[in-house]
Structures are given as structure tokens and as C-alpha cells.
Structure 1
Amino acid sequence: MTDAAANPLLTPSDLPYGLPPYELIEPGHYLPAFEIAFAEHNAEIAAIAASSEPATFENTLVAWEESGRLLGRLSRTFYTVSSADATESIQQVDETLAPLMSEHFDGILLDSALYERVVAIHNQSAALPDADQRYLAERRFTAMTRAGAGLDDEAKGRLRALNQRLSVLTTAFEKNLLADTNDLALHLTDDAELEGLTPGELQSAAAAARERGLDGYLITLRLFTGHPLLSSLTSRATRAKLMHASRARGAAGGAHPNDRVLLEIVRLRAERAELLGFASHAAFITSGETAGSPEAVADMLRRLAVPAARNAAKEQRALQHVSDESSESRDPLEASDWAYVTEKVRAAQYDLDTAALRPWFEADRVLVDGVFFAASALFGVTFTERADVKAYHPDARVFEVHEHDGTPLGLYILDLYTRDSKRGGAWMNSIAVQSQLSDDHPIVVNNLNVSKPSSGEPTLLTLDEVTTLFHEFGHALHGLFARVTFPSFGGTNVFRDFVEFPSQVNEMWIYWPEVLRNYARHVETGAQLPDETVAALTSSVAFNEGFATSEYLAAAWIDQAWHSLSTSDAAAITDVAAFEAEALADIGLLNPVIPPRYSSTYFAHVFSGGYSAGYYSYIWSEVLDADTVEWFRDNAGLTRANGDRFRSRILGVGGSQNPLAVYRDFRGRDADIAPLLKRRGLHD
């Protein structure tokens, strides 16, 4: 399909806020449109680089910022679909597109003539009239230098080859993981194997089976290791099967192995880092983040791992004792038992059954009377559903966002449910990004993977899913509120180890009394969550934190271990599982009862996403988050004054300033780690 006039991707959308006309877009439209967009962008960059005029901020950096608008719009349009509705046709486009995208952006970042102009501006940047301009000059110079613009032609050729091969491999990793996640879903036909599940959970599992033409029930897998249903399935054998399926994804010898793929990714990333003058991929990545070095990351992870492992061991002994009392076999506790026995302990200590809370967490009520309610109270914004506006999938709901005075702000899209064509996990992405150089309003998307109930039945969320919705909405607010001059700084385009900070802060409103009272109402009676249950919830926030911190730190350490390897060391690794075990032993987190949140072969964050050598970012950002939560509590909490300060000094800044300077401006000082240690029970 090559007729540009008939391609809906190449004409301006007449939908609200320029939302792409997804109903008109077919997979065959993408590659021809990208071909045109690449050529257009190349011509724009070539004109900048070849200019005979001396390099100025306007004719080089502003011109660069204004270039590639079609390509940016196409990319955001396509990658929204390739992550959330990756049909076989879309996957084929993705596989073809990946090396083309790599080649295109390498051509820009490695352009010697463009680099020469950027260097000239950077050398004179102190004379630029405003801070935004000076920061853009610094960031562009740093980006091109780190990308290899200063290398000789031979080294650039090798770098291009590495980047293209890595783009193919990361796409293959994602494809293998999606296939295994679907293929290894647990198919059960005996009702006894699902004892402990609620009627709604059984209906969802039955519906998932019917959708694939199967009888009985199908438990679809989640991205992380531990499945939510492990906490309620009474059959130990079923729990073991479910845990085994989760951990088998991408494993060597399976139908869709990722071990060879990730080993090659690790080797090529190490080689690329050394080509660019860094000791490792982790050194390369962290040099461009607030952490600054892998040593700083390692110091923090080791500092936290010791008390986390100690607390987890204490929790494990308590769980084993409960398990022994309730079972004649007195079998050793297994990883698949942890969540189930934990709920028994939680019930005994706090008189709290988190699985029984689901009737109080109906999805629409959580969204409207919880997530939106808190945002309106803090920032004055309103949300109106636009059933007349269609997104990329029938399950994706579109909301129009307005300021308190009615000024249009943008669109928010929520895609709640899991499906075979959606990658695992939860995320936020932008379809349109605000900047003063464009007329675009932001369009942001939140994706979750909640099991879809049978037709006519309510969607009841787990407490973890409530947390995920609030978290991802924190990213959405960042994307909606950023007000910047230059597109490079728009939305959530901030340092990787800062980007999780606003989303983690937004989780605080889950338990905030006036918010919780507003959304936690019984789906049938409308009754508020009982006061004694609220008290139990708030007092049990730190419960099981040894486990939660340990499984997270284990994954973060695995990421660092892989990406701290030199080229020669990476080439010597042949056994993924053995390397992972050795790395976990090194930090004291090798405990088969507490597997990492993600093991290597299904660690999409780092092998197919944007978090390579950066999964530490969550705990790094949590230092800022915990310190900010303390600030809100000390300053009357959910008020417009507090919201306006957080919006103007954090969210609204986007990526236009150094993030640590931004935080100091908001807080009046650097972040204190003490609130984080207290929150996670890691203080002495």
C-alpha cells in the first residue's frame, strides 16, 4: 500500500486533539508512511548540517527541535499499538521497523557536520540568554557525544552495526516473551484445582479459556514472577504449576527461548559501551543519569540488601511456622506458597484479608472517585469520558481533561484489560507531547493488565492493581502537565532514575482518608470500607516489606550484574541461570523461596524496554518519593496549594532542568533517605 493520498497516517487527523484515526489505520499503512517520514526528517537534518551560515542556537538547535514532526507523530502512533495490541501483522511491521529506526537515528546522532555545529554552540552556551536554551545546548552536546559522534568513521560503522543488531534482538526478546506468556498460560479443567478463587475470578478464567476455544479455565500470566492468584489458590499443586509456568517463560529449552537472545544483547551492549569509552554498559547508562556511576548504584543496593534479606528471613521463619501448624506434612515453604501463607499471617496479625477487599475496589469507582478525585482536589483538573472518540482498541477508554477554568488540557486514555496481543506489565506512553514549538495538546495512555470479567459483571481490582492504577496515573499527570518550550523536554522525557518519582508519589493518595473513603465502596451496597478494615490496611502497610524489598532488589541487582560485564567477561557467560544465581549470592539475595521479581529471560524492562542498567531507578526515585510524601503530610496533604506547588515545580518542568536541581527547588533541600528506610522497615 503506497498511495500517500490514501494513507490516513499522512494527513492531519480531524479527531479531538489530533488523536490518530486508528479505525482507519491498517498495518499496511505504517511502513510506507515511515519511509516518507524518514526521508523528510533526513532532508531537514541535512539542511541544518550543510548550512553555510555560522552555527547559532536558532539555525541549529531550534531547527533540529522543529524537525521530524511527522516521524515523531508516526512513532508515537505505532508504538502505542505495538505494545498494547501487537497482532501478528503489527509484530511483522515492528520487526522490519526496528533496524530502520536504529539506522535513521544513528545517522543523525553520528553526523559529523551536525556535531561540529552543536559543539560550537555548546562552547558558547554560557552566552545564551535563558536557562532553557543553555540546558538544551548541554543536553544535545552530551547526547551526541555519548552516542559516538566524535568517533572515527570505522568506529561509527561498527557502532551502527551494533545498534541495528541490538534493535533486532530486543524486538525478538519481546516477541518471544509475548508468545511464551500466551503459550504457558495455565489451562485447568478440574474445579477443585481452582478452589479459593472468587466467583468473579473463576468467571474471568472461564472467559479467557472460551476466548481461545478451550474448555474449563485459563489463568493468564502476568509479567512479574509472582501471580496475584497465588495468594488465594488453596491447592498447593496448582500454585506450584502457576509459579513454574511464570518462571519458565523464555527459558532455555522452551518453545520460545530468550537465553541466547539476552546473552547476545549483553555482549553487544558491553562492546558498544567500550567502543564509546566506558568500562561497561552500566557505566555508560548511569553516567547520563542522576546516579552518575554503577558504583553509586551498587553502594545503595548493597546498603539496602542486607537489612532487606534479614527482614525477609524473619518473615520466612514466621511463614514456615504457620505452614507447619496448618499442614501435617510440614513441607518446607516454597516460592509458590509465600503469597498464600502470607495472607494467613496477615489475617491473623491484622484481621485483614486483602483478597476479600476486591468488592470495595470496583474499577470504575477507583478510577473516577479515587484517581480522578485526588487529581481534581490537588490540581483542579476535570475528566470527561468521550465515548464518541475511539482509540486503538475497543477496551481503551478516552477522557478529555480540562483545567479548573474549563481550558482544554488534553486527552487521557485508559486501557485496563489484559489480552493476548498486549505485552505484560503496566505502563504510560504519550501519543502527543506538548511544546511551545508545536500546537499539540498532550495525549497520554495508561495500560494495565487486569483480567476482564464476563459480560455484565463488574471489574473488581486487587489492592496491587489499585496501586498500579494510581502509579501509572502519576506518569500520566507528568505527561499532561509538563509545559516546555522544546519537544525534547516534553512529557516524561526526564532522566530514567527520576521518571518514577512523580508516579510513586501519586501512590500516597490510595490510603489518604478522604480519597479512600470516596472510592472504596462496596460494589453492591455502596457502603464505605469499614473503619476497622481501613485501620488494618494502614497499619499493615509495612507488612511483608522484607519480601517485597528483597524481590525488587534481586531484580535490580541482576540488571546491574549483566550490564556491569566487560566485553570479554560477557563473552564467557553461557549459562543464564547460573550467572543469575551467582549474582544473587554475591549480594546475599539468593533465596529460592524469594525469587527475583523478574528473572533474566522474562525481564522485559531491561532486555526489550528502556530500563537496561536502570531498573534500580524505582528505589532511587523512592528516596525522593518518600521524602516528598513526608512533605505533603507536614503541609496539610491534599490541598490545591500543595498540588499547585508540586505541579509547577516538578511536573510542569518536564525535562527542561536538571532533576536534582528541580527537586531542591521544590523541597528546599536535597532528599533525605531516612523516610525511605522507615517506610521499608530498613532502619535500625
Structure 2
Amino acid sequence: MTAANPFFAPSELPYELPPFARIEVSHFREALERGMAEQLAEVEAIALSAEEPTMANTIDALERSGRILTRVMRVFDNQTSADTNEELQQIEADFAPRFAAHDDAILLNERLFARIDALYARRDELDLTAEARHVLRRYHLDFVRAGAALAPEQRQRLREINTQLASLSTLFGSNLLADTNASALQLSSRADLDGLSEDAIAAAAAAAQSRGLDGYLITLVLPTHQPALESLTNRQVRRRLYEASVARGSRGNAHDNTDIARQLVVLRAERAELLGYRSHSDYVLADRTAGSNEQLDAMLDQLIAPAVANAHAEQADLAAAMAADGVEDEFAAWDWAFYAEAVRRERYELDTNALRPYFEVDRTLVDGVFFAATSLYGITFTARDDLQAYHPEARVFEVRNADGSELGLFIADYFTRDSKRGGAWMNSLVTQSRLLDQKPVVLNNMNIPKPPPGQPALMSLDEVRTMFHEFGHALHGLFSSVTYPRVAGTAVARDFVEYPSQVNEMWLSWPEVIANYTRHHESAEPLPADVITRIEESSAFNQGFETVSYLAATWLDLCWHRLGAAEARALEGSIEDFERRALEQVGLALETVPPRYRSAYFNHIFASGYASGYYSYIWSEVLDADTVEWFKESGGLQRRNGDLFRDALLARGASGPEMSFFESFRGRPASITPLLERRGLASAPSSP
């Protein structure tokens, strides 16, 4: 097997695209073993070097180390998210604690830290570029925050904690995938699906058939809100779908995540205290652009009261609409989306469900997402059907600059499947680096229901927005132009990484763009101009609900991770009790507006990298809204604007302090006013 393992040598395909045609599940375990052993040997050689530490023999050498491990890990991480199976999940479970131990073996290596510390102490004497100086600072900070300066017994306890955290996070994600699949709502009668579009009904039938079930199956997306709630006319079916959504991970079955979440919180708090912080949240924010919990709370305080006030006003309108329908029951959470759509239709003469025929997946990608990128940055996209991706549904595109020079590869994988985790995301299979002479290979994943063969793949307006959003991350990776892989592309602070992707959402409804991609899939008729206008006019509609739902999830994340270790261990009551107390504390406990994620299915914070960082989306949106104002003031979709944004921000990655890049680009610190205006919060009344 050793000679045949495709991870043991650089790929000979264009842009070092992994040779997926040759990769088998059996290759992962062997490549992971060899990759870790090889990197540890390389690191030990650096640590034991008798030469005086230099950038070349220490930092550059570390950046070059572990090439096999990097190749296999990037493919493995994507495979376990986008197309997993039991064998891959077993490898993931087996190796999760070993990955943590491997990282600790590097970051807690005393001799290696001594070299980096000595080099960092002499940083002012070295003739370093701005990027190299920042990378040296980052390496030193990485080692200190990982515990390299701790006493031996503290480092040992840290290793134990990291190993446990890795195993528990992996288990949380696996449980959630299994329980989300098991919680899909099976319906026997087509009448139960009344209100859904024909393509959505066909997708539900296909989903049931794919699992060997009769009738129809409404599969669940990751957030609390399920898109079908907007359309289903049968109130009891809506209730069943909503209850299936919020019960995930807490049903007391083999996939229950509630105890795992508690254990993760305790261990993270203990680790933070070992490292000298009061809580995990204090530890995290010390290395984010937010800076501290106090600065973050100052921003959240400007949002919570007006958002809650707007949500109350919105609910009054929706409850009135429900009463006008002759429904005498009390307005409930499973009614919100349905009557929000009803009020939207009446107020703006806009039926978002009727827009689906205009949002066909391929046309939206090519004539919308790609068209906007070409117009703004001059880049072009060519389908590379000769290059195989990791799944038959994933398509490969070559991306070139305006002058025809090679930029990288983009892989699009948009359809849901049982082997794919929920949500939407961007990954890098190859990271740009001048040091390693590599160009980027990036991919986007979504979970659009797959239609039956021969039927068009249509999207909701929210799914179109997600496609533009994720492609913003892809552009961040594609445009990277740095020397060191440590700071390439999206390797920025977690509360900065969403900023470029959120900016890219603006092009969804930009007149030139939306007119180019919205065509009825049958008649090819364009989306009427007055409908486009109404989409823009309704952009602030229901923002009280959206903002409260998001802020509630953000607050749950912060409350879990602001606990000290003793507080976390002493928690009494159920996980639901904790959520209720936390939300009541700041006035976000609205029965009809559930958090975007409840704790037991909060994958971002318990199985991904957003622990104490879910606030990042709204924090980044401050920068996003301010940047959108700049684009509008500067003439919008023009090459000069795109080139400036690309050079000033997207190309820089984390090669310097991220906020300095923003302030240099904008000419001043960020203003929150454009965000408040966008969400209809600038003049909202105080919350009752």
C-alpha cells in the first residue's frame, strides 16, 4: 500500500488538486500515521538544531514541515464533512485525540519554543518584511496561548484536556449528523405538503425514496428554522416539523448531545484557567478583533433592545394575520415563518416561494455569482470536466485573472445528502503560498435539496444568499497573495473571517447582477423589474425576528463559555433550564423566537471552531455594512472598486493586523450606523 498511497507525494494534477480518482478510504489511516510521524521528526530536527535561530531555519522550516500530513488532513477534513461514512467516522473518532496530542507535541515542545522565543526577542534586530514580522509574532503567540510557557505538570494536564476535547467534539458532530438524519419528518399524504412548491414536493418524494421509505420526507437543515415552515399550510405539520428541529441532540437517545455539551464547557473553562484566563470566552476574545467581552457587550447592547422591540411589533402583525385566517389558537413559534410570508406577500406583493422558478442552481452560479466576480475583479471561470472532485456532484472550475494568468481552482458542491453534514461552508484543499509555490484550490458546500432526475434544481432566496456568501469565502481564499501558509486566505481572526463573505452577499440583488441570472427555468422570462424592486424594499422585513434569533444563539454561546470551571461543574438543572435563564438575563427569552441554534445542535460552538465566537457574524457585519456603503458611494460594480478591495483586504489574509487593513481601506474605524440602518434598528423603539 505504501507505494500506492497517493498522499505520499505531491499531486501532479493542475494546481496540485488531490488525485481523487486514486484515493481510497484505506489510504487515510496510513497517510495520517506517516504524516504525523514525519512532521514530528522534522520538528524535532528544528528544535535540536545547534544553529542560532533564524527565520529560515526555524519559522520557514516549520512552515515547510508536515507536507504529507497537510495533504491528507485537508482531504480528510473535507471528506468527513461532505461525504462521510461509517469507516471514515471511525477513523475520525480514532484519530481525533491523536490529532490533539500531535498538535500538543509541537506547541508544547520546550526546545522549539525556546528557539521561537529567542528569535522573537531579537525581532527588532532582524531585517524582516512586515509579513514575516507578523508571522513571527503569530507563532510566538500561538505557542504561548497553547501553554508552552506553563510548568511541566500544567502542560501535562493541558494535553489531557485537549485530547478529551477533541474526542468529545468529534462525537458531538457525529451524533448531530445521525440525529438530524433520524429526525427528518416523514409524511404519508401529499395533502400534508400543501403549500410547498412542486419542486419541493418532488424533492421530498425523492428523499423518501432514497431511504427506501414510502411517501415524503422533509429533511432538516442545521438551524432551528426549517425552510418548509414558510409554506406548509397544515398547522399541525408545521408544529411537528418545528418540534423535530428543536429536539435534535436532546431526545435522550443514543445520539443525545446534552451531556457532551456540558463536558465540553467544563473542560474548556479548566483549560482557560490553566492558561491564566477567567473563562474560555476571555481566552478566545483576547486573540480576536473584538478584544474583550466588555467591548463585545458594548456592541451587543446597541442591538438587543431595538431588535426585541421590533420582534414584538412584528409578532403583533403576524398574530393579527393568523386571527384573520380564523385560527383561534395562541400564536406559536411554528406559525412565525408561515405568517411572515403571508404578511410579506400582502405588504410588498412579494411571494418568496414564487421566486424559486427564477433561481435555478447552475444559472445562479454562472450568470449570478461568477458574473458578479468577473464584473468586479475581471476573473474568469472555466469548467474542468477533465478534473475529478471528491464526489460526482462536486464540479471543478479553473479560475484565471483578467490577464489570463492562473489563479486557482474552485469546486462547487451544492446538494444535500445523508453523508454530508448540515449547513454551508468553504474549505481549502490547497492553500496559496509563495514559500511553497502553491496556488489555491477552494470549495463551497451547501445543502440544497436534490430534485429527482430530469427536474430543475431550484433555490429559495435565502439559499441564493448563502451561495453568494460562501463564494465570498472562496474569493478570500482564491485571492490570497502571501508568502507564509500560516496567514494565507481565510486564516484570519474568527471574528473577521465572515466579513468578506458577507460583503459578497450585496451582489445578489445588485441591478446588473440580478437581471443577469434570474430567468424562469421554463419560459426563460426575466424576473420582472418591479419584483426586484420589491425584494430590495422588503430587505428589512422580519429583521426583528432574524436579529433576535441570531442574538439569542450568540448569547447562549457566550453564557456557556463565560463560566469558570467551578461554575460549570456546579451547574444544576437541565440544559433547557440553563438556556432559559441565560436568555431571560438579557431579555432574549421570546417563546415565539427560538435561538437560531439550541445548545444540543449548536454545531458551530461544540463541534467547529466558533466556541465563544458565534458573535463573529454580527461583529463582521458591522464591517460588511460599512463596506457596502463604500461600494455604493464609489460607484458599485466596477473593476477599480474590486481591484482596490482585492488588493487592500482579500489578498492580505492574516499577513498583518486585520483591523489595520480595514481602517486603511476605509480611511477610518468602522461605524455601526450602516448595520443599524440595514436591520431597521436605527430608529426602533425601546423594548417593553
Aligned to 2:44: 46
Aligned to 1:535: 533
Would the aligned equivalents of 2:433 and 2:481 in 1 still touch at CA under 8 Å? Answer: yes
2:70 alignment partner, one of 72, 76, 79: 72
* Deviation for aligned residue 1:242: 0.5
Aligned to 1:464: 462
Would the aligned equivalents of 1:319 and 1:338 in 2 still touch at CA under 8 Å? Answer: yes
Aligned to 2:16: 18
Aligned to 1:482: 480
Matches within 5 A, 1:365-514: 365-514=363-512
1:33 alignment partner, one of 31, 34, 56: 31
* Deviation for aligned residue 1:255: 3.9
Q: 3-state DSSP class of the match of 2:21?
A: helix
Matches within 5 A, 1:117-196: 117-129=115-127, 130-196=129-195
* Deviation for aligned residue 1:126: 2.0
How far, CA to CA, are the matches of 1:680 and 1:273 in structure 2?
35
Q: Which amino acid is 1:368 matched to? A: V
Deviation readout 1:115-165 (Å, 9 max, x if unpaired): 111111111212332211211111111110010000011100000000000
In the superposition, the TM-score normalised over structure 2's length comes to 0.98
How far, CA to CA, are the matches of 1:116 and 1:438 in structure 2?
25
How far, CA to CA, are the matches of 1:507 and 1:128 in structure 2?
42
* Deviation for aligned residue 1:100: 1.0
Would the aligned equivalents of 1:251 and 1:258 in 2 still touch at CA under 8 Å? Answer: yes
Q: Which amino acid is 1:624 matched to? A: L
Q: Which amino acid is 1:202 matched to? A: I
Deviation readout 1:603-636 (Å, 9 max, x if unpaired): 0000000100000000000010000000000000
How far, CA to CA, are the matches of 2:62 and 2:203 in structure 1?
49
How far, CA to CA, are the matches of 1:633 and 1:657 in structure 2?
27
Would the aligned equivalents of 1:302 and 1:587 in 2 still touch at CA under 8 Å? Answer: no
Deviation readout 1:170-216 (Å, 9 max, x if unpaired): 00000000000111100111111111111111110000000000110
* Deviation for aligned residue 1:62: 1.2
How far, CA to CA, are the matches of 2:191 and 2:301 in structure 1?
44
Aligned to 1:666: 665
Q: Which amino acid is 1:222 matched to? A: V
- Structure 2 unpaired stretches of 5+: 684-688
Q: Would you say how many aligned residue pairs link Structure 1 and Structure 2?
A: 681
Matches within 5 A, 1:331-370: 331-370=329-368
Q: 3-state DSSP class of the match of 1:614?
A: coil
Q: 3-state DSSP class of the match of 1:533?
A: helix
How far, CA to CA, are the matches of 2:606 and 2:653 in structure 1?
26
Aligned to 2:289: 290
Aligned to 1:60: 58
Would the aligned equivalents of 1:426 and 1:447 in 2 still touch at CA under 8 Å? Answer: yes
How far, CA to CA, are the matches of 1:535 and 1:33 in structure 2?
54
Deviates most, 250-259 or 449-458: 250-259
Q: 3-state DSSP class of the match of 1:164?
A: helix
Q: 3-state DSSP class of the match of 1:378?
A: helix
Q: Which amino acid is 1:681 matched to? A: G
Aligned to 2:86: 88
Q: Which amino acid is 1:96 matched to? A: D
Aligned to 1:232: 231
* Deviation for aligned residue 1:297: 1.7
Q: 3-state DSSP class of the match of 2:567?
A: helix
* Deviation for aligned residue 1:252: 4.6
Would the aligned equivalents of 1:517 and 1:529 in 2 still touch at CA under 8 Å? Answer: yes
Deviates most, 539-548 or 9-18: 9-18
How far, CA to CA, are the matches of 1:435 and 1:12 in structure 2?
15
Aligned to 2:679: 680
Q: 3-state DSSP class of the match of 1:461?
A: coil
* Deviation for aligned residue 1:589: 0.7
Would the aligned equivalents of 1:289 and 1:495 in 2 still touch at CA under 8 Å? Answer: yes
How far, CA to CA, are the matches of 2:109 and 2:131 in structure 1?
24
Deviation readout 1:451-498 (Å, 9 max, x if unpaired): 000101111100000000000000000000011011101120000000
2:110 alignment partner, one of 95, 100, 112: 112
Q: 3-state DSSP class of the match of 1:444?
A: strand
Aligned to 2:686: none
Matches within 5 A, 1:558-637: 558-574=556-572, 575-637=574-636
How far, CA to CA, are the matches of 1:561 and 1:316 in structure 2?
26
Aligned to 1:251: 250
How far, CA to CA, are the matches of 2:68 and 2:30 in structure 1?
13
* Deviation for aligned residue 1:15: 2.2
* Deviation for aligned residue 1:6: 1.8
Q: Which amino acid is 1:384 matched to? A: T
Deviation readout 1:82-131 (Å, 9 max, x if unpaired): 11011111111111111111000111111111111111111121233221
Deviates most, 501-510 or 661-670: 661-670
How far, CA to CA, are the matches of 1:270 and 1:314 in structure 2?
39
Q: Which amino acid is 1:641 matched to? A: R
* Deviation for aligned residue 1:511: 0.9
Q: 3-state DSSP class of the match of 2:313?
A: helix
Deviation readout 1:259-292 (Å, 9 max, x if unpaired): 0000000000000000000000000000010111
* Deviation for aligned residue 1:295: 2.1
Aligned to 2:267: 268
Aligned to 2:640: 641
How far, CA to CA, are the matches of 2:551 and 2:217 in structure 1?
31
Would the aligned equivalents of 2:31 and 2:68 in 1 still touch at CA under 8 Å? Answer: no
Aligned to 1:319: 318
How far, CA to CA, are the matches of 2:372 and 2:529 in structure 1?
20
How far, CA to CA, are the matches of 1:555 and 1:67 in structure 2?
39
How far, CA to CA, are the matches of 2:88 and 2:320 in structure 1?
51
How far, CA to CA, are the matches of 1:382 and 1:419 in structure 2?
30
How far, CA to CA, are the matches of 2:276 and 2:333 in structure 1?
42
Q: Which amino acid is 1:323 matched to? A: M
Would the aligned equivalents of 1:27 and 1:93 in 2 still touch at CA under 8 Å? Answer: no
How far, CA to CA, are the matches of 1:18 and 1:9 in structure 2?
11
Would the aligned equivalents of 1:125 and 1:134 in 2 still touch at CA under 8 Å? Answer: yes
- Give me the identity figure in percent: 52
* Deviation for aligned residue 1:392: 0.7
Aligned to 1:306: 305
Verify: 1:557 aligned to 2:555, yes or no: yes
Deviation readout 1:556-607 (Å, 9 max, x if unpaired): 1100000000001100124211101111111111011000000000000000
Q: Which amino acid is 1:474 matched to? A: G
Deviates most, 34-43 or 596-605: 34-43
Q: 3-state DSSP class of the match of 1:22?
A: coil
Would the aligned equivalents of 2:7 and 2:68 in 1 still touch at CA under 8 Å? Answer: no
Would the aligned equivalents of 1:677 and 1:683 in 2 still touch at CA under 8 Å? Answer: yes
CA RMSD of aligned residues (A): 0.9
Would the aligned equivalents of 2:279 and 2:563 in 1 still touch at CA under 8 Å? Answer: yes
